Structure formats: C-alpha cells, structure tokens
Structure 1
Amino acid sequence: MGAEVNPETDELKSLPLGDLHEAANARFGGFAGWSMPITYPLGVMKEHLHTREKAGLFDISHMQLFEIAGKGAAALLSRACPLYAGSLATGQSKYTLFLNEQAGIIDDLIVTRLGDERFMVVANAGNAAVDEAHLRELGKDFNAGIDALDRVFLAIQGPQAADVLQTAGIAGTDLEFMHGYEPQPGWFMSRSGYTGEDGFEIGLPEADARALVAKLLADDRVTWIGLAARDSLRLEAGLCLHGQDITPEIDPVDAGLTWAISKQVRGQGGFIGSEALQAKLAAGSGRKRVGLKPEGRQPVRSGATLVDAGGNPVGIVTSGGYGPSAGHPVAIGYVEKALATTDSQVFAEIRGSRIALHVHPLPFVTHRYHKG
C-alpha cells in the first residue's frame, strides 16, 4: 500500500475524523492521496481477528460517494456500466464496473437505487477524480445531475456488527445483503463491505459521524481497524483491489468478474466497452485470476513473477500477504489458463530464490454475508 500523493498539493489529504484516529494512537501512512490509519496499538493480526470474531470499525472516508439523479440517471449508469440500472429495485445494490473501450476496468464500484430517478455510487479513493470526470463527460448526453457528496464514510464489519448497531439504536439492521437506503436526511447506509463478513457501510455528515463513532466505540465488542487489516481481510475473502488485482489493462474475463454482468447485458451491449467485452468472451481468456497458497510461512508479495518448473514465465502475483484467519500466507495473481486449476504448482522468483505456490480456490475463508 504505497502512498499516492495528491497531484495538486503534493500533500496527503486528511480524514475528517483524523483527530479521533490520532487520539486512538493510530500509525498513519499514505494511500490513494490520503493520510490513512494503517494500524492501531492492537496490531494488524489482532485487528484482523477481532473483525472476524466481533465487530471492527473502519474509517473509509477516502472513498467517494456520488449521487446520480434525474430522468436520465438510469440511462447514464447503464451506459457507464455493464448493467441495466433501471431494472434494479429500489434499495437494491449491485457490484459493477466502469470499463474503457477496450473493456479494461477503470474502477469497480457499487450502485444502489434510492428511488425512481436517484442512485448512489460508491467509488474507490484512488479513482475518485477519474470516475467523476468520466461520469461528467458521459453525463453531457443525459438528463442527470452528478453530485460528489462530502460525507464521512464508516464501515462496521463482523459477525456482531448488526447486534452492535441494534444496541446503539441505529436503524437499518433489517437490510438484506447488498441493499441500501437513506435512514435519515444526509445519511446513506448499505449492508455490504470489503471483508467477507456481514456488515454495513454508512455515509453521513461529520457531526453525526462523531456522535455515531462515540456510541459504537462505547460497545466493548467494537474497536478501530486500520487499512493493513482491511487489506488482509479482503485478501482472505478473495476480493479485488483496484490498481493491483484489476486495472484498466485487465478485463472482466481475465479477472473472473463476468458474474457481475448478466448474460442479457453482455448480449445486448450498449455500455462502454461492450464490443471489446463480447470479442473477449468469444475468443476466451489466456490467463485467469486465481488464489495462490505459498508453501511454508513466507508471504509472497504483489509484483512477484510466477514461473513454471522449467523457469518459464507463466504469471504474476498481484496481491499477497499473511492470512491470520486462514493460518497461512495467501495471495492472488494471474496465471496462464492451463495452470488455473486447483493444486497446479507454480513458483515465485524472489531475490534469486524460488517459493512454490499452489493454485487455491477463492475465497480462502468462507464468506459470511447476511442471507436473511
């Protein structure tokens, strides 16, 4: 997680609740142009396990909320993304993508329908400016307003998240997984997350956020969780990090994300990148995104070249680290299609030595999303 410096100021932006993280003795680092809490005194391992066992609180205010509203809102999103936004039920959320004309992934995001002509889009921090410019350029052809919202964005994740919110008197715990709504003016809440656990994401004004944080942290089951544990949690859950596992040079076919695009949408097209995606689907993929389990205890990090037994390049590791819940190192990467089968062996070349890895099913730990 390297720092990305704000190109306009050459300085990292601060979170609205930064003083709360300082008071919690967070260790900060740069990520996507923001100064982010990377770990707290509990430490990465315990933060990770606490989230799997109880409820972790994450400040994800570096991410961007966009409200898309107007008669052309659904049509705009259906052009920008491979989905029929108009077919979403009110309150329904959908994981989707911004594609370029080559079907490369500009960003992955979640779209929630709030009403007949209103949608909420949650975009990644590092792509917020690109996403906004992309939407505004496309929006010139549609009768729709695009509002980049100024909100604190919090996530509470873990098996006790719903009960914690109920205890705190927060409405919305009856939401189904991948559904969202506005519990009060200026708030947006969805049952979703980036850990593989049940949980909620809540966007709200800063004053409300401070009161909510104080209420949640008063519960012994809740503690702050930093960006490092967020990364190990999502990695175990087999979830992609844009800029590493998916990029504008990687398409949904290679990335194994065509499940997010219905067959009807694929066939009828109309979205940016549809022709390139159809061509890729017809030609098939030469490489696949897979889980990788290194032998031994040494993690294999992103950027490591993968080779076969003969030393021939066959892929690359895009994310890697230690999986505290899995109990062993875990990684995600791309390998040649012929090797994308469970237990196929490849080798990572690291500083002149080789570490054996086996292709492993994703996720590394079972998802525990709320099923109703």
Structure 2
Amino acid sequence: MSDKIQPSNGASDDDEVVIETLTLPLDAWHRAHGGRMVEFAGYHMPVQYEGIMAEHLWTRENAGLFDVSHMGQLSITGEGVVAALEALLPAEIQKLPFNKARYSLLLNDEGGVLDDLMLTRQAEDRVYMVVNGATKYDDVSHMIEHLPDDVTINLMEDHALLAVQGPKAVDAVSRLIPGVEALVFMQAGAFQWQGHDIWLSRSGYTGEDGYEISLPAEAAEAFAEALLAQPEVKPIGLGARDSLRLEAGLPLYGHDLDPETTPVMADLGFALWKRRREAADFPGAQRILAEREHGPAVKRVGLLVEGRQPVREGASVVGEDGAVIGRVTSGGFAPSVGAPIAMAYVPTELAAPGSAVRLVQRGKVHAATVAAMPFVPHRYFRGA
C-alpha cells in the first residue's frame, strides 16, 4: 500500500514489520530500456540508463523523459476548498486564475516546512496538487486532520506522472498533443491522447522548459514509447534529475528542506504571497514574518567548491576556529558548470555571494565561495 512501516497479517505494533518497496507503472519499461534500478522514496526507480553525465547534458541540450510517478498526485475538492487550503499554505489561491500552477509550502504551526508542492486551481471547488513521494502519505494525513469534513482528498494512485524537460521538449510533446505549445510557464490544461484524459502543465524540476504530464497508469507505457520515438527524447534517471535540479538551485525535500526549516531560512520568500503576509493568517506566520523583518539565523545558499572533488550532503561548514557553523544539504559535480557545487545553510552574515567558507568532509577541508543561485540560468518559457 505504501512505503510506511505497517504491521502485516494483523500483527501488533510490537511484532516485526515488513517494508514493501513498490513498483512504478513503468517498472518493466525502465528495466527493458536499460534502467539501473535503486530504491528511492519507497519505490524501485531508475537511477541511470547510459550514465548520469550523458543524461544530464542531453537534457540541457535536447529533451529528457523522467518518470516521477512516485510523487503524490492529489485532487482536492469540495465547497470552500480554497479557503480551507489557505489555512495550511501561505499561497494566494483565491485570486489564482483557473489552470495556473503555483509553488507553495505545507507548514507546521512553528512555520517549519512539512513539504513543498505544486498546486493548480482547476475549478472553483477543485485543486490539483503534486507533493513529494516520500511525504505524500504524511501530507494527506496532515490535511485530513486539518481540513473540514466537506473537503475530499483523492490520492490519484491510478495515475502516472511523467516529465519531459529540455529546450526541445516542446517539439517532441507538441507532435503527440497539439496545442501544448501555446502554454507558458506554470500554465496547465486538460488534453486528450488516444482517447485518454491528460492533465499537463508547463513546468518541471530541472530549470529547463518542459512539461509535467499526468495520465492514467494503464496508458503510461504506450505514451512513454511514443515520446521515446521522438528524436529529441531519451529516458533520464534519478541521478541526472538530481544534478539538474542542483544546478537550477531547486531544493529537495528531506535534504534542503525539513520541518525545522522555515521558508525564510530556505530563501523561499517568493512563496509567501503579499496578501497572506499582510493578513498573517497562515501557520507559523508570527515567526516567519519576524524572520523576514529581522533576518533568520541561517540561510540556504549556493556554494562553488574549489578543486574537482564534490562535497556531499552532511559535510560541515566551519568557522575560522574550526567550530561547526553550518551544514551542506546537497552537493555534487555539476556537468554544465564543470565544477563541484553545493547547497548549504550558513549564518546569515556569510550568506552574501562572494563570502568565503570552509567545508569539512571526512576530515578533509575544502574551500568554497558563496554563489548566487541558480548556477545555470533558468530557461522557462514565459511567452514571446
């Protein structure tokens, strides 16, 4: 059922439990196309096909096909659904036009981030939401607890979610679904493909132009094959997805974001909409607004690491006296930059681009410089 730990066969909580690793609708397809499978967020998922470097650069230059069906797709419906969701999120949903997508954050009462997500207002009483795969069941439980009884949450486990990313994504996808080329960044719409209902948004997680495509799971393999038949498209695994989002300066929940981190600390102030700030009516508003005014203790920054050795998550940021003053939350070699990069939380006084910091990984000291993000410019299509 899920990647949560649950007793099986009526066992009590004290008995041994089994964690089931789930399969994606395209599991056999990935294996047939050479995907090397690993466990991620409770699912078997492809980490790479021909190699992370090659897949990364192909996506930057052409179009990559990503299977992100592990993510949680939610259809949230009911009278008053917009006001109900605004009680949990700092987003401006009431004035959001239909079929426009927005990035937002599910917050706890202390202003910490429970998850980051994408939402689209599909109708007056219906919101489509995509949440992270590792947290989707917790997110649903949190929302059930806090939303009124007349709001219904449907976890769309009978749907797959694919992403096509890269400068040539529009060429490939528009051949299969005419009309998608008219969408601009963060715009969505309902389409048809071979009799199947498709929900498609011009968005993604790589910093490139592209689409995220929700469709019935039974249609996913045929649609993936149709995409792969396009000369611009190759399948891309988790490894390149991570290096692409890191270059784009996009945080990964559970690594760069967690319940102890506020939106201001994470440098996600754009997700705090003006009307909501003025009303101060979202969870953790008092703390978050105080951090906006006075500054947080620490802040998420980008780092350019000297040398060729990547510095990974878990490395320490240290001061001149060797004391730990921060932490690296993501890191790796950036193929498009040609150098190691990282994200870290550092004291706010060191958060300005150009600040020199030292990182310690397995006892070895690495010099780094705070850099503006994204490391590679975003190439979202915002219209002519």
TM-score range, shorter chain: over 0.9
Distance in structure 2 (CA, Å) of the matches to 1:211 and 1:20:
10
* 4+ runs deviating over 3 angstroms: none
Instruction: Note if contact 2:177-2:191 (Cα within 8 Å) is conserved in structure 1.
Output: no
CA drift at 1:280: 2.9
Distance in structure 1 (CA, Å) of the matches to 2:346 and 2:269:
18
TM-score by length of 2: 0.92
Distance in structure 2 (CA, Å) of the matches to 1:262 and 1:225:
34
In the alignment, does 2:25 pair up with 1:16?
yes
Distance in structure 2 (CA, Å) of the matches to 1:347 and 1:162:
42
Distance in structure 2 (CA, Å) of the matches to 1:186 and 1:274:
39
Instruction: Note if contact 1:75-1:142 (Cα within 8 Å) is conserved in structure 2.
Output: no
Deviation track 1:204-261 (CA, whole Å, cap 9, x = no partner) reads 1122222211111111211100001000000000000000111000001111111111
- Which residue does 2:150 correspond to in 1? 143
**CA distance 1:289–1:130, shift in 2 (3 Å):** same
Distance in structure 1 (CA, Å) of the matches to 2:142 and 2:364:
43
CA drift at 1:170: 4.4
- For the residue of structure 2 that corresponds to 1:85, the secondary structure is coil
Deviation track 1:30-72 (CA, whole Å, cap 9, x = no partner) reads 11111110011x2000000000000000000000110111211
CA drift at 1:81: 0.5
- For the residue of structure 1 that corresponds to 2:90, the secondary structure is coil
User: What is the alpha-carbon root mean square deviation over aligned residues?
Assistant: 1.5
Larger deviation: 182-191 or 145-154?
Answer: 182-191
- Which residue does 2:87 correspond to in 1? 79
Instruction: Note if contact 1:109-1:123 (Cα within 8 Å) is conserved in structure 2.
Output: yes
Instruction: Note if contact 2:255-2:330 (Cα within 8 Å) is conserved in structure 1.
Output: yes
| 2:317 equivalent among 267, 281, 306 | 306
| 2:335 equivalent among 294, 317, 324 | 324
Instruction: Note if contact 2:295-2:348 (Cα within 8 Å) is conserved in structure 1.
Output: no
Distance in structure 1 (CA, Å) of the matches to 2:295 and 2:267:
12
Instruction: Note if contact 2:25-2:220 (Cα within 8 Å) is conserved in structure 1.
Output: no
- For the residue of structure 2 that corresponds to 1:255, the secondary structure is coil
Deviation track 1:296-335 (CA, whole Å, cap 9, x = no partner) reads 0000000100112332322110000000001111100011
CA drift at 1:186: 4.2
| 2:37 equivalent among 21, 28, 33 | 28
Alignment of 1:218-297 (within 5 A): 218-297=229-308
Aligned residues between the structures: 367
2:27 partner letter: G
**Structure 2 unaligned runs (5+)?**
7-17
- Which residue does 1:339 correspond to in 2? 350
- Which residue does 1:112 correspond to in 2? 120
CA drift at 1:363: 0.6
Deviation track 1:247-282 (CA, whole Å, cap 9, x = no partner) reads 000001111111111222112022222233223334
Distance in structure 2 (CA, Å) of the matches to 1:244 and 1:77:
25
In the alignment, does 2:91 pair up with 1:93?
no
Larger deviation: 46-55 or 209-218?
Answer: 209-218
Identity of aligned residues (%): 43
In the alignment, does 2:364 pair up with 1:353?
yes
- For the residue of structure 2 that corresponds to 1:87, the secondary structure is coil
Distance in structure 2 (CA, Å) of the matches to 1:281 and 1:267:
12
Distance in structure 2 (CA, Å) of the matches to 1:343 and 1:279:
26
CA drift at 1:10: 1.0
Distance in structure 2 (CA, Å) of the matches to 1:106 and 1:239:
16
Instruction: Note if contact 2:69-2:162 (Cα within 8 Å) is conserved in structure 1.
Output: yes
- For the residue of structure 2 that corresponds to 1:271, the secondary structure is coil
1:235 partner letter: L
**CA distance 1:281–1:342, shift in 2 (3 Å):** closer
TM-score by length of 1: 0.95
- Which residue does 1:178 correspond to in 2? 186
Distance in structure 1 (CA, Å) of the matches to 2:285 and 2:173:
41
Instruction: Note if contact 1:6-1:13 (Cα within 8 Å) is conserved in structure 2.
Output: no
Distance in structure 2 (CA, Å) of the matches to 1:211 and 1:348:
47
- For the residue of structure 2 that corresponds to 1:277, the secondary structure is helix
Instruction: Note if contact 1:293-1:331 (Cα within 8 Å) is conserved in structure 2.
Output: yes
Distance in structure 2 (CA, Å) of the matches to 1:193 and 1:312:
38
1:164 partner letter: A
Instruction: Note if contact 2:243-2:333 (Cα within 8 Å) is conserved in structure 1.
Output: yes
